[in-house]
Amino acid sequence: MKVYIDGKYLDERNAKVSVFDHGLLYGDGIFEGIRAYNGRVFKLKEHIDRLFSSAKAILLEIPLSHAELMKATVATIRANKLRDCYVRLIITRGIGTLGLNPRSCKKPSVIIIAGKIQVYPAELYARGMDIVTVPTTRNLHSALNPAIKSLNYLNNILAKIEANNAGVEEAVMLNSEGFVAECTADNLFIIKDGKLFTPPLSAGALYGITRQTVMELAEQNGVAVTEPNLTRYDLFNADECFLTGTGAEIMPVIKIDGRVIGTGKPGPLTQKLVAEYHALTKVTGQPIYG
């Protein structure tokens, strides 16, 4: 595997960063997770836009333009001769001194890895997932805004550990007011009486690109979509529930905190959205090989 680091393609054995990089020392940096399907990069512009928004929020100057970063992403996939893959883009504050002052970092580092990802066991897509709410809440907007896709994912990792300790794969994270925010790397949706609901960004959800795509697909199917604050009660009494993310795609949920959701099987509207999402990923996106 060839890894892009600051304009060079390095063999994976030599793809290393300094122990003085503030991305490692302080989680000072940002990332994106992108996927390519069938020789096309899905929603590339949207991911690069979100990366620049994260950079803006943490006062990090990405040393490439929007267009250059899109080109470098596609070129890294090409250098690895891939057609279906997962791409991780990372921008760190760069190499600095011991001490958290970002002014000691002279130049941000750009890393692009094109590989594979399997976020959940394959059999769960057919069966549906059992999830639980966990004690760790989403970060406050006023502390570390959860809209920033920063290299500091400890908040989500703690929630993931709590879910694993409870014997399930995924956690529902609530915000400090007790409203549903999202899962550790996925947005959450419920269906009730034929309508689709997902928590608002103000509840602590990430501006998910899969979330946006699913909302558009639902609307094209005449399904009303709204973003109200949701409580655990709303989840328990939903007809259907599913998670969305670049890595996970669309994952049906069949149990939350021991309550069976709907019929206890992936629901009909969830299955329709899964089929339409898969169809869309195969035909849209930035071509990798011209």
Catalytic positions: 149
Residue located via tokens 């004690």:
135
Tell me if 156 contacts ligand PXG by CB under 6 A: yes
Report the distance separating Cα 269 and Cα 250, nearest Å. Answer: 12
229: exposed, middle or buried (Cβ count in 10 Å: 0-12, 13-18, 19+): middle
Which span (19-27, 164-172, 185-193, 222-230) binds ligand PXG, by CB under 6 A?
185-193
Report the distance separating Cα 53 and Cα 9, nearest Å. Answer: 26
Which span (157-165, 208-216, 234-242, 280-288) binds ligand PXG, by CB under 6 A?
208-216
Q: Please, which of residues 92-151 interact with ligand PXG by CB under 6 A?
A: 117, 119
Return the number of the residue (25 or 113) whose C-beta is nearest ligand PXG: 113
**Residue 197 pairs with which residues in a beta bridge?**
190, 226
Report the distance separating Cα 253 and Cα 189, nearest Å. Answer: 10
Return the number of the residue (132 or 185) whose C-beta is nearest ligand PXG: 185
Return the number of the residue (22 or 35) whose C-beta is nearest ligand PXG: 35
Residue located via tokens 């928590």:
199
Contact flags string 45-84 toward ligand PXG, x per CB under 6 A: ----------------------------------------
Return the number of the residue (110 or 250) whose C-beta is nearest ligand PXG: 250
Q: How far is the CB of 153 from ligand PXG (least distance, A)?
A: 7
Closest-CA residue to 189 (of 249, 246, 135, 253): 253
Tell me if 203 contacts ligand PXG by CB under 6 A: no
Size of the site for ligand PXG (CB under 6 A): 17
Residue type, 31: F
175, 246, 270, 281: which one contacts ligand PXG (CB under 6 A)? 246
Three-state DSSP at 257 gives: coil
**Residue 240 pairs with which residues in a beta bridge?**
191
Tell me if 200 contacts ligand PXG by CB under 6 A: no
- DSSP code, position 268: H
For the chain, report the end-to-end CA distance as a whole number of angstroms.
22
Which span (6-14, 17-25, 89-97, 238-246) binds ligand PXG, by CB under 6 A?
238-246
Tokens of 72: 């470098």
Print burial letters for 183-222: b (CB count within 10 Å at least 16), e (below 16): bbbbbbbbbeeeebbbbebebbbbebbbbebbbebbeeee
Q: Please, which of residues 11-40 interact with ligand PXG by CB under 6 A?
A: 33
130, 211, 235, 240: which one contacts ligand PXG (CB under 6 A)? 211
Return the number of the residue (119 or 251) whose C-beta is nearest ligand PXG: 119
Residues that bind ligand PXG (CB under 6 A): 33, 117, 119, 156, 182, 185-187, 206, 208-211, 244-247
